[in-house]
Structure 1
Amino acid sequence: MTPGTRPAVAPDSRARLRLWLRMLKSTRQVEAVLRDRFRTEFGTTLPRFDVMAALARYEGGLKMSALSGVLRVSNGNVTGIVDRLVDEGHVVRVQVPGDRRASLVRLTRRGQQEFARQAEAHARWIDELLTGFAPDEAETLAARFDAVSAKEEDA
């Protein structure tokens, strides 16, 4: 291939590539807005919200390795965030009976209340940012993206 030329790509493939690039651009823009709003309105970060959201789904708590798995990030990434949430009183570490090295991480009552406040704002922000999608259109797109995720998880 000579400089400045493009590889031969089927028109269907090119359309899917353009879709991916637009999805990526939109995702980054929405994420930037969310990061800014969490910082300015709650003095927190999107990753902290993500950790609290994961823990809110597991009332009994999660081991750090399970929390990392749910979030699809490394243990190292989660450890610092959990440390800060513990310092703020939003999360507590509880020793796993029979396993000196393992602990469960779970939201405190204060953490549950703070997460509820943040989750309400997050839902409003997402609704505002994606208001151009009718509910049925959003459901259809969500189902299509779920199918992509399921296909990759089966691989």
Structure 2
Amino acid sequence: MKNADLVMNTAKLIIAAGYKMKEQARQEMAEEDLGGGMFDEAVKRNKDLLTEMILEEIRTTNVLRSAQAKYRFFDEFLFHIVRNKMKIGASQTSFTVKTPLVALTANEAGRIARSFPAILMANATGEAAVDELIVTYPALRELDREYAWFRSMLVAIATEHMSKVAYGVKARA
């Protein structure tokens, strides 16, 4: 599969997931601490939909399928990168994951991916955000060296997030 096809399929995942939330809803969720209330069902449905879409994309895309077969955490990483959930009031980068790629667990991969929204907010471009993410985590540096498509996929996701998510647009303005 060509890099452009992979990038377009990944971008479709982001668009179809529908994780765009109005700023008022974000503020209400922050007041409720972890979400809760009227958002619970919608968030659960969206998580299930996103999980299904990512797994389907992995099954139907050779390069993603090979990455998942080699690194069992890959779907977890991709889920949190695409989901791009910023936990308001919580530090997303208060941990360090220095584990090498071969020993990385799904939990650690999820933690790395959950640091992505804060990195996106701190950078002006998707490419700069992806560079920072990859430089920060040794396991991602190894993935970047191993898979030629990895960085371009993350840049496409980052660019999409930066253009669509309200808090990112406001923070950069």
TM, length-normalised to structure 2: 0.30
Q: Which has the higher strand share?
A: 1
Question: Larger C-alpha radius of gyration, 1 or 2?
Answer: 1
Q: Structure with the greater relative contact order (CA < 8 A, sep ≥ 6): 1 or 2?
A: 2
Which structure has more helix as a fraction of its residues? Answer: 2
